[in-house]
């Protein structure tokens, strides 16, 4: 099934998380990178919805080998110290994170912004990537 | 005399045959075969003879100098430079073309596809170069309500292509009501515009049914290499004819809805029926009019009734009357909260 130049989509992969406000939506894999699409809903827990940013140390861990692949880029969300400030508690943000490519095989991965998080970081565990569920992009 | 499309196509094919330098003197049989091949229809000798006669009489603007050569057993133009394509347009035809070009320009821009915009631009330029500017009205005389920078409208062409080529698509959708994202795989059946907003309608794998998505709430659509699903229950008539708007209210089937409109608004409703099923059921003495529509109720229908609620009352069904009452109550509360 695998074609080295092809792009594959995992739509709404099964996963576990403690993040309440951020949703893991899609994972797109090709030979260049691994892209993870997420959506954030601002909350009234913070004044005017608060802010978001991605830690430069964010990584994906490919199980069971424990290979760590550090974030290479982002789209629609700042990386590092810059913050994306919401204007209201009802705002939302769709964004993508880029990582190095991972082998195209059935596996589990983890998306970790910060180990031992207090719950405010974007951590996702047991993300199941089943080859049988991958959809080739045109 | 106006030309019918098929006759016009035949005249052009005959002209192509007569101007073909590589195969001179086409016979009657050649002309018939070429017409039949290009138009996928059968034609008789008498039909083509009639076409040649009509062309000779000058129906295309100038008499075609068609002759028959006995020695070559075929037809030819007596003037080797002649072609009906070089016959200039008369002033009526030219004016009609300029009007059509103006109309097409109105629909181009953000409204259709880049290919359409390019084609319109080419036609417009060709008209100006070949025939000059039209003599009057140097500004567009037609204007329509158009989406200028509506969010998501950049995907219009993408979804049109997906529906045409039957390619499923993946996109992220954000629900304004639920304040939630979802990853959707959609088998797009059609696009529908209502009140100047565009929606895509198709089979959603996630919801396992035909669903409607506002194009403004869609992020990052991707074309998929996957088998297209045709939902046998999909009924285009439901979306095109029965539904008022795009977002049907759950559990509400097509039904009769009667409403009364005051004299200030009734003429507007008579002149601009809100749905093709709209009928007048009663004229009241002082200009109030009762109307009936038969539609699948939608959120848009309730909103439109609410919008006119100072001049319109719903007579039945009761549940719509209640909904409008609730909307008015909410509006009054909003006035207190935000006013």
CATH code for position B294: 3.30.70
The pLDDT of residue B1 is: 46
CA angle at B105 for the pair B100 and B107, rounded to the nearest 5°: 100
3-class secondary structure for B109-142? CCCCCHHHHHHHHHHHHHHHHHHCCCCCCCCCCC
Considering its fold, how many domains does chain B have in total? 4
Residue B141 lies in a domain: no
Contacts 24+ apart (CB under 8 A), B17-25: B17/B75, B18/B66, B18/B75, B18/B76, B18/B77, B19/B77, B19/B82, B19/B83, B24/B72, B24/B74, B24/B76, B25/B69, B25/B72, B25/B73, B25/B74, B25/B75, B25/B76
pLDDT tens digit sequence for B20-69: 988 899 999 999 999 999 998 999 999 999 999 999 988 777 889 999 99
Phi and psi at B44, nearest 5°, equal -95, 165
One domain for residues B259 and B334: yes
Most A-contacting residue of B162, B170, B223 (CB-CB within 10 A), to test interface? B170
One domain for residues B276 and B329: yes
pLDDT tens digit sequence for B109-154: 655 666 777 777 777 776 766 666 665 666 666 676 665 567 888 8
One domain for residues B157 and B225: yes
First to last CA, chain A: 14
- pLDDT > 60? residue B312: yes
One domain for residues B160 and B204: yes
Kindly state whether A136 is in contact with chain B, defined as any CB-CB distance less than 8 angstroms: yes
Whether the CB-CB separation of B96 and B82 falls below 8 Å is answered with: no
> Between chains, do B224 and A39 touch, taking CB under 8 Å as contact?
no
One domain for residues B66 and B115: no
Chain A: nearest CA to B181, how far in angstroms?
A: 6
In the predicted model, what is the mean pLDDT of residues A52-81?
94
CATH code for position B164: 2.30.30
The pLDDT of residue A73 is: 97
> Which of B179, B206, B223 minimises the CB distance to A92?
B179
- pLDDT > 90? residue B307: yes
pLDDT tens digit sequence for B259-304: 999 999 999 999 999 999 999 999 999 999 999 999 999 999 999 9
What CA–CA distance (Å, rounded) separates B202 from B239? 11
Alpha-helix runs per DSSP H in B166-271: 236-237, 263-271
- pLDDT > 60? residue B2: no
Chain B neighbors of A12, CB-CB under 8 A? 182-183, 206
One domain for residues B229 and B293: no
Most A-contacting residue of B185, B222, B224 (CB-CB within 10 A), to test interface? B222
Residue B139 lies in a domain: no
Q: At what angle do helices B28-39 and B5-19 cross, to 10 degrees?
A: 130
Chain A neighbors of B170, CB-CB under 8 A? 9, 11, 26, 135, 137
| Nearest residue to B166 via CA among B117, B227, B114, B119 | B227
Q: Which residue has the tokens 């158009």?
A: B146
Domain that holds residue B71: 5-77
One domain for residues B193 and B219: yes
pLDDT tens digit sequence for A15-34: 999 888 999 999 999 999 99
Percent of chain A with pLDDT over 90: 82
One domain for residues B289 and B332: yes
> Which of A12, A137, A138 minimises the CB distance to B183?
A12
> Between chains, do B225 and A28 touch, taking CB under 8 Å as contact?
no
**A·B CB contacts under 8 A:** 55
> Between chains, do A94 and B181 touch, taking CB under 8 Å as contact?
yes
Among the CATH numbers 2.40.10, 2.60.40, 1.10.10, 2.30.30, which is that of A7-137?
Answer: 2.60.40
Whether the CB-CB separation of B62 and B51 falls below 8 Å is answered with: no
Residue B86 lies in a domain: no
The pLDDT of residue B60 is: 74
In the predicted model, what is the mean pLDDT of residues B221-248?
92
The pLDDT of residue B121 is: 72
Which region holds residue B137: left if phi is over 0, alpha if psi is between -120 and 50, else beta?
left
**Three-state DSSP state, B76:** strand
Residue B147 lies in a domain: no
User: Could you tell me the residue ranges of all domains in chain A?
Assistant: 7-137
């Amino acid at each position: 099934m695998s074609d080295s130049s092809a792009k594959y989509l995992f739509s709404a992969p099964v996963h576990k998380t403690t993040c309440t406000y951020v949703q893991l939506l899609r994972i797109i894999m090709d030979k260049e990178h691994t892209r993870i699409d997420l959506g954030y809903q601002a909350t009234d827990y913070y004044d005017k919805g608060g802010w978001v940013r991605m830690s430069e140390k964010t990584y994906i861990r490919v199980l069971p080998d424990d290979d760590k692949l550090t974030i290479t880029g982002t789209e629609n969300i700042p990386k590092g110290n810059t913050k994306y400030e919401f204007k209201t508690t009802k705002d939302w943000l769709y964004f993508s994170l880029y990582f190095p490519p991972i082998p195209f095989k059935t596996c589990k991965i983890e998306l970790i912004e910060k180990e031992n998080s207090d719950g405010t970081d974007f951590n996702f565990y047991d993300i199941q990537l089943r080859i049988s569920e991958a959809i080739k992009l045109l | 005399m106006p030309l019918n499309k098929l006759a016009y196509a035949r005249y052009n094919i005959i002209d192509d045959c007569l101007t073909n330098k590589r195969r001179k003197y086409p016979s009657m049989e050649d002309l018939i075969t070429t017409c039949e091949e290009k138009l996928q229809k059968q034609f008789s000798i008498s039909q083509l003879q009639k076409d040649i006669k009509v062309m000779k009489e000058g129906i295309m603007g100038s008499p075609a100098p068609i002759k028959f050569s006995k020695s070559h057993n075929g037809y030819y133009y007596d003037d080797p430079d002649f072609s009906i394509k070089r016959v200039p347009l008369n002033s009526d035809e030219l004016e009609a073309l300029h009007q059509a070009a103006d109309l097409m320009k109105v629909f181009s821009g953000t409204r259709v596809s880049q290919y359409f915009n390019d084609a319109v631009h080419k036609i417009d330029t060709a008209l100006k170069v070949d025939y000059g500017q039209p003599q009057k009205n140097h500004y567009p005389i037609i204007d329509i309500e158009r989406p200028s920078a509506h969010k998501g409208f950049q995907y219009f062409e993408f979804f049109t292509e997906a529906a045409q080529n039957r390619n499923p698509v993946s996109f992220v959708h954000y629900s304004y009501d639920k304040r939630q994202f979802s990853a959707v795989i959609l088998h797009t059946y059609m696009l529908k515009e209502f009140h100047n907003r565009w929606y895509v309608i198709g089979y959603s794998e996630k919801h396992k049914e035909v669903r409607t998505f506002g194009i403004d709430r869609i992020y990052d659509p991707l074309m998929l290499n996957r088998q297209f699903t045709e939902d046998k229950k999909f009924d285009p008539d439901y979306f095109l004819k029965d539904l008022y708007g795009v977002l049907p209210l759950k559990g509400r089937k097509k039904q009769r809805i009667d409403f009364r409109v005051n004299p200030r608004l009734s003429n507007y409703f008579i002149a601009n029926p809100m749905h093709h099923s709209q009928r007048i059921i009663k004229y009241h003495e002082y200009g109030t009019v009762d109307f009936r529509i038969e539609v699948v109720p939608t959120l848009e229908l309730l909103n439109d009734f609410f919008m006119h609620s100072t001049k319109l009352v719903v007579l039945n069904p009761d549940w719509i009357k209640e909904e409008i009452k609730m909307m008015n109550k909410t509006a009054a509360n909003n006035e207190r909260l935000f006013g």
